[in-house]
Amino acid sequence: MMTRKATLQLAAVFGALLMSAPVTAADLRDVVVEREESRYKLRSETYFDADPESLYRVLTDYDHFDKISSTFVEARNIEPDEHGRPRFYTRMEGCVLLFCKSYIRTGHLVLTPVSDIVAIVDPELSNFRFARERWQFIEDGDGTLLIYTFEMEPDFWIPPVVGPFVVKRVLRRGGADAVDRIEALAQGREPEL
């Protein structure tokens, strides 16, 4: 049986551990990944302890996407297209089983400040036959609910037996890892990679 003094000391140790743990309010509430033939679809809902304007600023600034995920080897905003639409370039590296590849995505953004971002990939300049991302920002109390959808059809071979399972796992895990980093950037903090 522990004495009152030992119990208080143990409580103090646990309290100190809890106080020293990183505090984050980013809450990945739902992630669904589906596959239909060669097309993958991801949908997630995440609550961020940040206002829509700050999240919008982070997610339109491709120059800092390498801070969101370590899969981004290169990312940047590039010159607008002939219609004046903002454009982006990303190069990611990743492996599906033992098959490793560098993936290029170049495209344009359709922006509705501070409520909606749509990124559409140009298949002629990318490793994707089709790719479209959408971020929707909804005020939620003191924070923001972000609804993210990503649909893509790769223009590269994915091993047919276990490849789809691995792609789904990578998409799910990558989103979970990125939410805290996005929130840190939106709050003006340097994220941990």
- Which H, E and C letters describe the chain, residue by residue? CCCHHHHHHHHHHHHHHHHHCCCCCCEEEEEEEEEECCEEEEEEEEEECCCHHHHHHHHCCHHHHHHCCCCEEEEEEECCCCCCCCEEEEEEEEEECCEEEEEEEEEEEEEECCCEEEEEECHHHCCEEEEEEEEEEEEECCEEEEEEEEEEEECCCCCCCCHHHHHHHHHHHHHHHHHHHHHHHHCCCCCCC
Please state whether beta strands 39-48 and 72-78 pair in parallel, antiparallel, or not at all (unpaired): unpaired
pTM: 0.80
* pLDDT over threshold 90, residue 70: no
- Please state, for a pLDDT cut of 90, what percent of the chain lies above it: 53
Measure the N-to-C terminal CA separation of the chain; round to a whole number of Å.
43
Q: How far apart are alpha carbons 180 and 154 in whole angstroms? A: 27
Q: Which CATH superfamily is domain 24-186 in?
A: START domain (3.30.530.20)
Q: How far apart are alpha carbons 54 and 189 in whole angstroms? A: 12
Instruction: Express each pLDDT in 16-62 by its tens digit.
Output: 323 333 344 689 888 888 888 889 888 989 999 999 999 999 999 99
Instruction: Express each pLDDT in 76-119 by its tens digit.
Output: 999 999 999 999 999 998 776 676 788 999 999 999 999 999 99
* pLDDT over threshold 70, residue 176: no
Cα–Cα nearest to 39, from 124, 149, 125: 149
Domain-by-domain residue ranges, the chain?
24-186
Mean pLDDT, the chain, rounded, equals 82
Q: How far is CA 139 from CA 52, 63, 91, 108, in A?
A: 7, 25, 31, 25
Amino acid 104: pLDDT: 95
